[in-house]
Chain A
Amino acid sequence: MQTLRKLTPAFKRVLEAFGLVMAVVILNFLLIQMAPGDPVEVIVGEMGGASEELIAQLRQQYGLDQPVLHQLGIYLGKVLTGDLGYSYYFNTPVLDLLLQRVPATVLLCLSALFVAVLVGTFAGAFSARKPDGAGSHIVTVISLVGYSAPVFWIGMMLLILFASVWPIFPVAGMQSLRKPSGFAYYLDILHHLVLPTITLAMIYIAYYSRLARTSMIEVLGQDYIRTARAKGLPENKVIWKHALRNGLIPIVTMVGLQFGQLFAGAVLVETVFNWPGLGRLAYESILRRDYPTLLGILLFSAVLVMIANLLTDIAYRRIDPRMRKART
């Protein structure tokens, strides 16, 4: 009984996350249904060498002559067993295609997130110490620029800068043509990762520095900060221990909520930098009208968002003990 009660909140979160993914599956189904023309067209994609036989076969497979609810059942069954359809353009089952591309996207998103949270939090916390000082104004200006410039354009500007003016970073792809081996292999990927990461992190640096600044200014006005000072703690400890831990709470919340948007930003960044992830794949499938792949990516993005939400939830509970169950 005790363990069951302990499990319940976590279990509820998992259920909710699963619900999100199911909702996307249903959304995909609705999109297929509502698309102009024959649903088969969407299932196959325009590039499919859709012979009469294949169309008839798919029609039967997806139960397209059955009532809509029945079709939904078939569709759910297929998705849940990992059958996301077949990409005729790439000539691969969609699931395999997606699994191949996931690591690159996850790598890009996580490194951008890491940079953004780190830089944003520190910039915001620093500027919060003097709300009217120069640092604060710099944070305001940077965040305005980060908010206002299109992410793909920032990427292109970096490309121009680093390709022609200061060529120290590779500007496209994830690996060099001649793949080095051993440790150098990872260094090579890291080297390729720099520009896409900076580009994608830029918006979130803008966002988190502002958020961190507001949150830290608020926290620094709290009674417990005065208590910490009254204890005779050095200012560094007051800020980086007592204030920061509290100031981080809204940032962690935002990270969870915004992971989906981060992923969307990755679509643009991957396109600009030719980064071989899901985003680049999305761009390619748009060009080829490869609907099954596109819908698969949408579904995968939901799964990634769900995992990210669960992880931030755990982080949140670690940082803020009030969110844990009270001990008695």
Chain B
Amino acid sequence: MTGTPFLEVRNLTVEMKGESGAIRVLDDVSLRIERGRTMGIVGESGCGKSMTALAIMRLLPPGFEITAGQVLVEGEDITRVPEARMRALRGNDISMIFQEPMTSLNPVFTVGDQIAEAVKQHQGLDAGAAEQRAIEMLKAVQIPGAEARLHAYPHEFSGGMRQRVMIAMALACQPRLIIADEPTTALDVTVQAQIFALMRELQQETGTAIMLITHDLGAVAELADDVAVFYAGKRIESGPAGAILRHAAHPYTSGLMSCTPRLRLSAAARDGAAVLREIPGMVPQLGRMPQGCRFAPRCPLADDRCRSVMPPDVEVGPAHAAACWKAETEVMA
């Protein structure tokens, strides 16, 4: 992978200004998202993966702030550009699909209106052309009877259909990156599969890059080309999906995988032994982070160095890095 990636996040740090000082919710995170590829961002709730997405969009909730680092879109650092430039990017070059299709659509406007809006905003189409585009988009996300449904309101759609509308909205301006923040968490399992299939299909047609945020490693295995694993506000491992799924370098990543039934089965088949593992203990509270590696208190391999010094990113394979003192030895072994 050479040249500038579409999106590069460099040493991004986000803090929440609270009454008792600033709390770091995202610490020194770096990522590269290549054109046309899918990056899976994995981690538990609260590990900072959604914060990363909102920081890239510069839509952090009030009180949260980017305090260090850069977000480069084709080399342009968007953490410092004026709001107007940011608006031109949002929905046009980078768009976002949110976790809650039930509440992410405005209940008082028709879905057609909400899809056409972005097109009018960014591409200056007139009302008729924008509506035409909205119909095309509804067809693209396979909503039956697109022309009629254009004038329907969100409450007249099921959850899965609403998420399709969200996808249609995100794709309307043919963005080069779609950030999908747990797009299927709120949906039934069968609907999840349909939505993923749809996203994969649309990606093949449009060549957009996808940043898929999820806590479901199964989804990552299915969709992602690259993977980044987050733990307690830090990106602790990243690399090609295949490499990570086969040889997780960070003990947390392997712990996470052994908790995912589908993957555990394949791992068991490979190793010839079903090892049912779990990660003991709890994620440390933000603002009360341990001094060294954040995973050390729960890590079976942790020693004194892990508990006192934060491990740096270590190259463990081609484009595969992990922030763990033990990573190297594990891969070698």
Contacts and interface: CB of A to CB of B under 8 A. Distances in A.
Chain A interface mostly? helix
Interface in B82-134: 87-92, 95-96, 98, 100, 103-110, 117-118, 121-122
A232 B92 contact: yes
Interface stretch (A164-172, A296-304, A320-328): A320-328
Interface in A216-261: 222-224, 226-234, 237, 242, 245-246
Nearest to B101: A223
A230 B114 CA distance: 12
A232 B173 CA distance: 11
Contact of B59 (A224, A230, A242): A230
User: On chain A, which size bracket covers the interface?
Assistant: 20 to 34
A224 B166 CA distance: 11
A246 B96 CA distance: 22
B321 interface: no
Given A223-B100, A327-B152, A228 B106 contact: yes
B155 interface: yes
Contacts of A237: 121
Interface residues of B, number: 30
B90 A229 contact: yes
Contact of B109 (A234, A245, A326): A245
B242 to A, nearest CB: 31
A243 to B, nearest CB: 9
A232 B108 contact: no
Contacts of A242: 106, 109
A20 interface: no
Interface centre among A228, A230, A246, A320 (most CB of B within 10 A): A230
Interface string A306-328: 00000000000001111000110
Nearest to A221: B61
Contacts, number: 77
A234 B122 CA distance: 11
A321 B106 contact: no
A320 to B, nearest CB: 6
Contacts of B100: 223
Given A222-B103, A322-B153, A322-B155, A229 B108 contact: no
Interface in B51-68: 57, 59
A267 B72 CA distance: 65
B107 A246 contact: yes
B104 A224 contact: yes
B156 interface: yes
Contact of A233 (B95, B105, B108, B117): B117
A323 to B, nearest CB: 10
B107 A230 contact: no
A215 to B, nearest CB: 13
Contacts of B57: 230
B105 A227 contact: yes
B91 A245 contact: no
Contacts of A230: 57, 59, 90-91, 95-96, 98
Nearest to B169: A231
11 contacts: A223-B103, A224-B103, A224-B107, A228-B106, A230-B95, A232-B88, A234-B87, A245-B108, A245-B109, A320-B108, A322-B153
Name the 5 nearest CB pairs between A and B, nearest first.
A232-B90, A232-B91, A231-B91, A223-B103, A224-B106
Given A232-B87, A232-B122, A327-B156, 18 more contacts: A222-B103, A224-B107, A227-B98, A227-B104, A227-B169, A229-B59, A229-B90, A230-B91, A231-B90, A231-B95, A232-B118, A234-B121, A242-B109, A245-B106, A246-B107, A319-B108, A321-B107, A322-B107
Interface of B: 57, 59, 87-92, 95-96, 98, 100, 103-110, 117-118, 121-122, 152-153, 155-156, 166, 169
